[in-house]
Structure 1
Amino acid sequence: MPEPKPDYLERILAARVYDVAVETPLETATNLSRRIGNQVLLKREDMQPVFSFKIRGAYNRMVKLGRAQLERGVVTASAGNHAQGVALSAQHLGCRATIVMPATTPHIKVDGVARRGAEVVLIGDSYSDCYQHAIKIAEETGAAFIHPYDDPDVIAGQGTIAMEILRQHPDPLDAIFVPVGGGGLLAGVAAYIKRLRPDVKIIGVEPTDANAMYLSLKLGERVLLPQVGIFADGVAVKQVGEETFRLCRELVDDIILVDTDAMCAAIKDVFEDTRSILEPSGALAVAGLKLWAAREGVQDRTLVAIASGANMNFDRLRYVAEQAEMGEEREAIIAVTIPERPGAYRDFCTLLGTRNVTEFNYRYADDDVAHIFVGLSIQGRGEVAELIARLVEQGLPAIDLTDNELAKLHIRHLVGGRAPHARNERLLRFEFPERPGALMNFLTQMGSDWNISLFHYRNHGADYGRVLVGIQVPEAEEVAFRGFLEKLGYPYWSESDNPAYRLFLS
């Protein structure tokens, strides 16, 4: 006979989490609520002892291990927050813990684990790499593997958040927004809420470049992503769990996808209301709440977002601050072509009117025209379309580059850098793993077959480096070049036809 399915209401009510976790507050985000016309409540899981909700599930799983098993220790694989939960739980229970983490894990999370006495093993670039190594350690040592999400006790531990939400807000509630990685938190929250308040919508939120749950629910089976974006490293999971998928398929109402700019804007939103700084995955739910409210056109609803973690590297804040204005649609980037004649710049500025210019890059192009890269403060994206139409009407060709990743990440720092003798130049945008040897690996793989005509790297304090490379590749060597890219294995995008490249660099 098949094993009976777990009764999650019973498991959540009986969960042991408060030996180490705390009941976190449910706070009104006053500024954000006023701005979007809905009551927004933040479930402050960033206030846990390990600054993340993960302590709940980790401890609930480990506290049920027998003394003999605890003496053999525990092992887990994690990008950071679950690792800290396991480390603190092991410290409290007096057992040895080995944590396998990706080599790209932010130092703040690695240090947080090591400080609690756990042994840290850094290997690979993703959770999948770590998982295989952790399983091997468990088999060799007899240590118990503590899964970060696909375990009924872990799911039940995370579900205690939902129990607290309903107790803290017994009044009508319209929707709860939950960040999604492997699905443990979403499954636990959905399992509890749908048993007691089936009218409340449960909506998961994923990054656009780490959307395993969205695709799995859409296709009706678990999807294995070939790669995931790791800006929101806490949810960088290539495949959701079997049990989490089963529960989410039955209970979740919707999955919202948000991009990096939206996450950065949400970090700023929460900071303005709480003076706390969430990590990208911690702000996912807030970003999804905002997008859903705008998409549905709802007003005067009560919406909860789980602020799931605050293990943010300080040096990442520079990038977050830059992108937040884009995510809030308060800044736009446009490229404008003006005639190269006296007075043309003044005429262009007159057309801009009273708008605040946040960035202005100009360099002489030729005797006929000049290309200008301009950043502007805006109140909404509708302004950009109106401005471009007005510029074109006045004979000044203009392009909206606000959503152009190449323009935002690189071109704005390279405007005017032309190389007229760089024949057969290919422009590619790469993501390098942010670790020693990544650049040397690139150069070694490429060898000396092609000349690098452009190279721009900018450290954003993230787990990966964004690199823009110009390479001179004769047409006859196209097959060899594609072979090099496939062998290299780094995520890349061809940008040779990008209008920003043609205007400012080629």
Structure 2
Amino acid sequence: METLQLAPPQPPLLRSRCRQGRPVVRATLSKQTAEKSPSLAPRKVLLRVPVPTLPPPSSSQHPLPRVSASSLQYPPGYLGAVPDRTDSEEAGENITSAMSHLTNILSSKVYDVAVETPLQLATKLSERWGVNVWLKREDLQPVFSFKLRGAYNMMAKLPKGQLEKGVICSSAGNHAQGVALAAKRLNCNAVIAMPVTTPEIKWRSVERLGSTVVLVGDSYDEAQAYAKKRGEEEGRIFIPPFDHPDVIMGQGTIGMEIVRHMQGPLHSIFVPVGGGGLIAGIAAFVKRVSPEVKIIGVEPADANAMALSLHHGQRIMLDQVGGFADGVAVKVVGEETFRLCKESVDGIVLVSRDAICASIKDMFEEKRNILEPAGALALAGAEAYCKYYGLKGENVVAIASGANMNFDKLRLVTELANVGRRQEAVLTTAVPEKLGSLEAWKHQAIPRISTNC
């Protein structure tokens, strides 16, 4: 039996400014709050809000082992982290659970707010890859992301009395917009806690939907701690981004639409993975009605929390997480999402940042739409998988999950796209800080680079 040595768990660190011994953060409140006092006349005011201290993990809470993303790496396109199902639960319990998921997805109310997005053939990519590439266009949702499906499904099931008390969530982007739009449709008051590092374009879009925006903390963990504490104090329900059955089943309606729209046999569905809500929901439906279809998750190589969790057979916590694909940059996957992925997902493909950028470029050339990095993740994984296994003539689906791209990130994407296509290379070197060293390097290195390239 393989012995796994993991670093001891550590409590999450809160990075904040301190004043008189108390941790504080910057917070921005919406007009609704400002109007309560005549002294707060500006539309936005800078306040100091105490950050709740997160309790250290105790032995009774079974703290998660901390591991490094680099501890599990394999070639792009390789299907790794295949779950071990030899010791799965009793078949009867699994069938009962699967039928319950199926019923909940079929009866979901997401279409009160979401649209049934098209499944489009990518003709240029299909010709280049040698397979039929189908794009599930969740980037065409009203908030340019699939996230509103799960948020609305959970909120629509809340009792009327609870909706009157309001809801709260923490998010750096897509989930926030989903909750805000759902709250607007349900005539419900919503507070959205977002890190102070959130780009203005994102929190402005949430505010336009009528929600109260609070910019708090330098990281998602701090924003989440604030949201949960405020929710308890005000009686608001916390709407999680992925780890709740109603959220998962709301995302599962995407799988239902794919099965209904797909003509002919389907080989695999490639799904971006962050906390696991999207892939868990899709797998819960597709594996029940079309068990032969492979459900393949795709993660960045430096944000592979689900791959590591499936590999070790238990949830883990990443010691660091890459933030380029911020929509899937999570350190810990959900408890319920992990359980469902262990039961139904076929494995995880890992891709590089360069490959993600190349897929953003592919999508633009194919459909003239710009996906965010997390939104192009599944497309990058599908290409890598098809090339690695030499897949030909099959139907494959990639979820285009979101298009909330930060404008200032476009320059980096364009620079790295050709690197991902191996059309360009980025070279680095060190030159001594001595007079004439740069000229000497140019005479020695430039001819060799030109010859080899």
Other-structure match for 2:440: 365
- Give the direction of change, closer, same or farther, for the CA distance of 1:375–1:40 in structure 2 (3 Å limit): farther
Other-structure match for 1:144: 237
- Give the direction of change, closer, same or farther, for the CA distance of 1:374–1:78 in structure 2 (3 Å limit): farther
C-alpha displacement of 1:329: 1.3
Q: For the residues of structure 1 that align with 2:418 and 2:265, how far apart are their CA atoms?
A: 33
| Contact 1:108–1:311 (Cα < 8 Å) also in 2 | no
Q: For the residues of structure 2 that align with 1:84 and 1:373, how far apart are their CA atoms?
A: 53
Alignment gaps of 5+ in structure 2: 1-92, 431-436
Q: 2:160 aligns with which of 61, 67, 72?
A: 67
Q: For the residues of structure 2 that align with 1:373 and 1:328, how far apart are their CA atoms?
A: 25
- Give the direction of change, closer, same or farther, for the CA distance of 1:125–1:222 in structure 2 (3 Å limit): farther
Q: 1:89 aligns with which of 171, 182, 207?
A: 182
- Give the direction of change, closer, same or farther, for the CA distance of 1:375–1:148 in structure 2 (3 Å limit): farther
- Give the direction of change, closer, same or farther, for the CA distance of 1:107–1:223 in structure 2 (3 Å limit): same
| Contact 1:234–1:281 (Cα < 8 Å) also in 2 | yes
For 1:115, the aligned partner's letter is R
1:271-313, CA deviations, whole angstroms, 9 ceiling, x for partnerless residues? 1110000000000000000111111111111110000000012
| Contact 1:334–1:375 (Cα < 8 Å) also in 2 | no
Q: 1:217 aligns with which of 310, 314, 322?
A: 310
Other-structure match for 1:24: 117
Q: 1:13 aligns with which of 106, 115, 132?
A: 106
1:356-387, CA deviations, whole angstroms, 9 ceiling, x for partnerless residues? xxxxxx94027x953339998xxxxxxxxxx6
Name the Cα RMSD after superposition: 2.3
Q: 1:103 aligns with which of 196, 215, 231?
A: 196
C-alpha displacement of 1:229: 1.3
For 2:327, the aligned partner's letter is G
The 5-angstrom pairing of residues 221-232 of structure 1 reads 221-232=314-325
Greater fraction of residues in strand? 1
For 1:34, the aligned partner's letter is E
Q: 1:114 aligns with which of 207, 211, 215?
A: 207
Q: For the residues of structure 1 that align with 2:323 and 2:248, how far apart are their CA atoms?
A: 23
Q: Does 1:308 align with 2:401?
A: yes
Q: For the residues of structure 2 that align with 1:18 and 1:76, how far apart are their CA atoms?
A: 22
SS of 1:99's equivalent?
Answer: strand
C-alpha displacement of 1:106: 2.9
Give the structure-2-normalised TM-score: 0.74
Percent sequence identity is: 59
- Give the direction of change, closer, same or farther, for the CA distance of 1:287–1:374 in structure 2 (3 Å limit): farther
Q: Does 1:192 align with 2:290?
A: no
Q: Does 1:48 align with 2:122?
A: no
C-alpha displacement of 1:104: 2.5
Q: For the residues of structure 1 that align with 2:358 and 2:447, how far apart are their CA atoms?
A: 23
| Contact 1:127–1:237 (Cα < 8 Å) also in 2 | no
For 1:213, the aligned partner's letter is M
For 2:136, the aligned partner's letter is K
Larger RCO (CA under 8 A, 6+ residues apart): 2
| Contact 1:183–1:245 (Cα < 8 Å) also in 2 | yes
For 2:347, the aligned partner's letter is D
Alignment gaps of 5+ in structure 1: 338-361, 377-386, 392-506
Q: For the residues of structure 2 that align with 1:238 and 1:306, how far apart are their CA atoms?
A: 22
1:113-162, CA deviations, whole angstroms, 9 ceiling, x for partnerless residues? 11111111223343322222211011110001111100000000000001
Q: For the residues of structure 1 that align with 2:151 and 2:448, how far apart are their CA atoms?
A: 49
Give the structure-1-normalised TM-score: 0.67
1:12-59, CA deviations, whole angstroms, 9 ceiling, x for partnerless residues? 001010111000000011111111111100000000000000010000
Q: For the residues of structure 1 that align with 2:193 and 2:163, how far apart are their CA atoms?
A: 18
| Contact 1:179–1:306 (Cα < 8 Å) also in 2 | yes
Other-structure match for 1:34: 127
Other-structure match for 1:253: 346
Q: For the residues of structure 1 that align with 2:392 and 2:255, how far apart are their CA atoms?
A: 23
- Give the direction of change, closer, same or farther, for the CA distance of 1:17–1:335 in structure 2 (3 Å limit): closer
